[in-house]
A and B are shown apart, each in its own frame.
Chain A
Amino acid sequence: MGALVEGLAHIISGLAVGSIYAAMALGLTLVYGLLKILHIAHAGVFVVGAYAAYIAYSATGNIAIAVLASIAATSVYGVILAKSIYLPLMDKPRHIPLMLSIAIYLLTEEVVANVFGHYPKGFRFHGFGGSLNWGVLRIDVTGLTAILVTLASTLALWLLLKRTRIGISSQALSQDMETAKALGVNVPRVVYINFALGSAFAGIAAIMYGLYYGSISPYMGDVVAYKALVVIVLGGFGSVMGALLGGLILGVAEELLTAYFSYILPREAYAFIVLIVLLILRPQGLLGRRV
C-alpha cells in the first residue's frame, strides 16, 4: 500500500513537471511546424516570461497582472524574433537561423543576468500553493495547477488549429508553404500569430516552473530547452497533441527512473535514454507523420 501511494505520488509529480515541458514544447512545435526551424531562442522567451512575471508580481502583488505581464512580454518578444530574424532568413539554409537562434538565446540569458543578477530569485505567489490531502495521498497544488493549465491550453490550441480559419491556414502553411502563399495565405500574419501564441505558452510555462521550483534564474532555460527539444522529437515534430503526450511521458519517465534508479544515472540523463529508446521503436515520434 505504501509503495503504491509512493508510486502514485511520483507519477503525479512527473505529470506536473511533464506539463511544464509540454507547455514549452508546444511553442517549439508550432514554430517548427511552420518554418521548419528549431527555435532555440524559445528558451530565452521563457526566461523573459519568468522575469516579466517576477517584476509585475513584485510591483503589484496581483497574480492576474503577473500572468498577463508574462504573456504580454513573451508574445511581443516572440513576434519581434519572428519579424527580425526568422522571416528575413526564411530562404536561407536552415542552419543559419538556427545559429542565430542559439545566439539570441545566449544573449537573452546574459542580458537578463546582467540586469537582474546571476543568482536565482525566490518566486512565489502569496496564498498560492500548499497541498491537498486525500488520506495518505498528498497532492501539491502548484503541480496540479500546472497539469490543469497545460491540459486546458493544449485543448484550446488544438481547437483553434482545427476549428478556425486562421488555424486551418496555419496547418496549410506548415504542410506546403509555397502553395499556401499562392492561395492567399498571408504568411507573415500567420507566422506572427503562431509566434505570439507559442511564446505565450513559454510565458505560462515559466510561471509554472517558477512556482513549482520556488525560484527563477537567468539560466533556468538551459535544462528546459533541451527537454523541450526531446519532447518535440518524442511527440513528432509539429504535432500539438504529440507535444502534450511527449511532455507528460518524459516527465513521468524521468520522475520514476530518478526515484527508483537515481543511483545509476542523474535525472537529466534519463530524458535522453527515453528519447533513444523511443527513436529506436518509432523514428517519426509518437504522433509524427512518416515523411
Chain B
Amino acid sequence: MLAVNDVHVYYGTIAALRGVTVKVDEGEVVAVIGRNGAGKTTLIKAIMGLVNVVKGSVVFDGEDITGLPPWERAKLGLGYVPEGRRLFPYLTVEENLIVGAHNARSREEIKKRLEEVYSLFPRLRERRGQLARTLSGGEAQMLAIARSLMARPKLILMDEPSQGLAPIVVDEIFNKIMELKREGHSILLVEQNVKKALEVADRVYLLETGKIVIELPVEEAKNHPVIREVYLGAKQRYK
C-alpha cells in the first residue's frame, strides 16, 4: 500500500534521511522506532510531502506521489497525526474535525463522520464546542487522531502519539490505536516509546541517524539484542 524507496532528505547540507526504505501493507500496523533526531519525523514528513525528497520515491496505492503537494496526498487517502498534536488552537474541537473531513461531499456526510468519531472518542463529544487549545494533553492527542479519521484515510501516519503524555494517558491512547488496528486500519507509527510501539505493531523498523538498521516482525524485534538492551532497557547479562 505504501512504499518508501531509498528516500534521501536534507536540511541544508545535513542529511536527515540517507536512503530509507519502508513498506506498509494493507491492514498492517508498522512501527518505526529510534532515538530523538534519528529522522523519524522527517520520514513522516517526507511521506506527507512536507519536506523535499532529494532522491528516492514515495509510492502510495500504486501511484508515485513523490512530487505531489501535501493536500493531494491527503486526497489520495493519507491521514496525518502530527508530532505534538498541532491542533488548530483557536478553532473548536468540532471545527478541527471539520477541517479534517476535507473529502466529505455534503453536510450530512460530515455529520455522519462526526458521529462515528464521537462514538470512538466520547470525551470529544463533550468538548465539541471548546477551543482546541483548552484541551488536556490526552484529549488533544485524541482529537489529533480523530481529526485524521474524519477523512476516512486508507493509511494513517502517526508521529509520536505518546509525546509529552503521562504514562496512564499513553496507555489510553495506545488502547485506542489498538482499537483502530482491530477495525482494520493500516497505520504507520513513529515512536520513541518502544515498549508501547511493540505492543501494537506487526512489524518494526529501527531508524538510526537517517538509516534503517533493523527490520523485523514484532516478535523477533522484541527479542533482538539491540532493541532489547538499548531501546527496551533490559539489563545486560554477563556471561
Contact = CB atoms under 8 A, between A and B. Distances in A.
Nearest to B73: A182
Contacts of B89: 175
A149 to B, nearest CB: 28
B80 A183 contact: yes
Contact of B48 (A182, A185, A186, A289): A182
B50 interface: yes
Interface string B102-144: 1100000000000000000000000000000000000000000
B70 A181 contact: yes
B99 interface: yes
Contacts of B70: 181-182
Nearest to A180: B99
Given A175-B88, A175-B91, A182-B50, A168 B99 contact: yes
A172 B88 contact: yes
Contact of B151 (A176, A178, A184): A184
B48 to A, nearest CB: 5
B90 A179 contact: no
Interface string A179-211: 111111111000000000000000000000000
B57 to A, nearest CB: 19
Contacts of A182: 48-50, 70-71, 73-74, 80, 82
B78 to A, nearest CB: 8
Given A184-B71, A184-B151, A178 B50 contact: yes
* Interface of A, helix, strand, loop or mixed by DSSP: helix
B86 interface: yes
B100 interface: yes
A175 B71 CA distance: 16
B148 interface: yes
Contacts of B71: 181-187
A184 B86 contact: no
Q: How large is the interface on B (under 10, 10 to 19, 20 to 34, 35 or more residues)?
A: 20 to 34
B90 A171 contact: yes
Interface residues of A, number: 18
B55 interface: no
A186 B74 CA distance: 10
B91 A183 contact: no
A181 B69 contact: yes
B95 interface: yes
B99 A185 contact: yes
Given A181-B69, A182-B82, A289-B90, A168 B98 contact: yes
29 contacts: A168-B91, A168-B95, A168-B99, A169-B102, A171-B91, A172-B88, A172-B99, A175-B88, A175-B89, A176-B88, A178-B82, A178-B86, A179-B80, A180-B88, A181-B69, A181-B70, A182-B49, A182-B50, A182-B71, A182-B74, A182-B80, A183-B99, A183-B151, A184-B100, A184-B103, A184-B151, A185-B102, A186-B71, A289-B90
Given A168-B99, A182-B49, 14 more contacts: A171-B91, A172-B99, A175-B89, A175-B91, A176-B86, A178-B50, A178-B86, A182-B50, A182-B70, A182-B74, A183-B71, A183-B99, A183-B147, A184-B103
